[in-house]
Amino acid sequence: MKIVDNISDIKSILKNVNSTIGFVPTMGALHNGHISLINRAREENEIVVVSIFVNPTQFLEGEDLDKYPRKDEADKKICKLCGVDYLFMPDINTMYEKDEIILKASKTKGFILEGYKRPGHFDGMLQIVLKLFNIVNPTNSYFGKKDAQQLSLINQMVKNLYLDTNIVECDIVRENDGLAMSSRNVYLTPSQREKALNISKSLKIAAKKIGAGQLDSDIIVDTINDILNSVDGIDVEYVVVVNREFNLIDTIELQNTIILIAVKIGTTRLIDNIWI
């Protein structure tokens, strides 16, 4: 595995590659969710590139940029063990200039739910993903479904800007107890983590109701809210039912529905979802 921190070097290396390139962009603190993306990229491509960059433009004032977990040495070992060919680890001065052209998220999808709660977050996310796509020029790019709204916006960016990479949507990876894997899980105390298990529990119960024929979105949302609100210490930000285009829907549409949850437990914000 070769570690590269310079844009011109990584572009020069990859320009001479005449085979498929699988790309996994990350912010580091790699866990089994990231590993599943890397492994799939390894299975489906001849060359695998992983990037690690904690992107400051997608953090809002007062968020956890300075505290965001950084585990560079462990991440390097994980990438090597997973058979990554090139690990791209730029710093902020490499990726950003003082006066930048800014990419804006769409006026609808970019400003609801996560976009409403974290205004400007998706602008920064799309900005860095576009930069990385232009640097790596990947055949296939791998993203997890846990960040469903992010994934939808990346798909829209690829379509709207005529980008040449194929976006591969990968299933959520969970801990043995059902908690969706996230680098922010390390912030949870043992008692907070126990409370957080109600997130996946509520989604499972909702899925069972849907499987039994309950397709009324309001009833599904009420079911989830009842479970989450019954637990002291869970602050529910939203529970919504949308289609794949992120339009709110009154009736569950099989193969075209996502149920999304965002909560705060202590100071830790968690999101989860289930694709129906």
| Residue 66: predicted pLDDT | 85
| Residue 240: predicted pLDDT | 98
Sheet holding 166-170, edge to edge: 2-4, 86-88, 47-52, 21-26, 140-144, 166-170
| Residue 67: predicted pLDDT | 82
- Which residues, listed in sequence order, are joined to residue 40 by a DSSP beta bridge? none
Distance CA 33, CA 82 (A): 13
In one letter, which amino acid is 146?
K
Please give the sequence-ordered ranges of beta strands (E in DSSP) within 135-267, or none if there are none.
140-144, 166-170, 234-243, 257-265
Taking only the tens place, the pLDDT of each residue in 170-220 is 999 999 999 999 989 999 999 999 999 999 999 999 999 999 999 999 999
All residues at 6 or more sequence positions from 91 whose CB lies less than 8 Å from its CB, including other chains: 5
Residues marked as catalytic:
34
Taking only the tens place, the pLDDT of each residue in 7-51 is 999 999 999 899 999 999 999 999 999 999 999 999 999 999 999
Taking only the tens place, the pLDDT of each residue in 153-173 is 999 999 999 999 999 999 999
Distance CA 21, CA 25 (A): 13
Rounded average pLDDT over 218-246: 97
Distance CA 270, CA 78 (A): 24
Distance CA 136, CA 116 (A): 31
Domains of the chain and CATH, by start: 2-170 (3.40.50.620), 188-269 (3.30.1300.10)
| Residue 60: predicted pLDDT | 85
- Reading the block at residue 63, the tokens are 């968020």
| Residue 51: predicted pLDDT | 98
- Reading the block at residue 164, the tokens are 């040449």
Candidates 267, 271, 218, 225; CA nearest to 64 is 267
The tally of CA atoms less than 13 A away on the side-chain side of residue 176 is 0
Q: Is residue 64 very low, low, confident or very high in pLDDT (cuts 50, 70, 90)?
A: confident
Distances (CA, A) of 228 to 94, 219, 221, 231: 43, 14, 11, 6
Q: Is 118 left (phi over 0), alpha (psi -120 to 50) or beta?
A: beta
SS3 content of the chain, % helix, strand, coil (to 5): 40, 20, 35
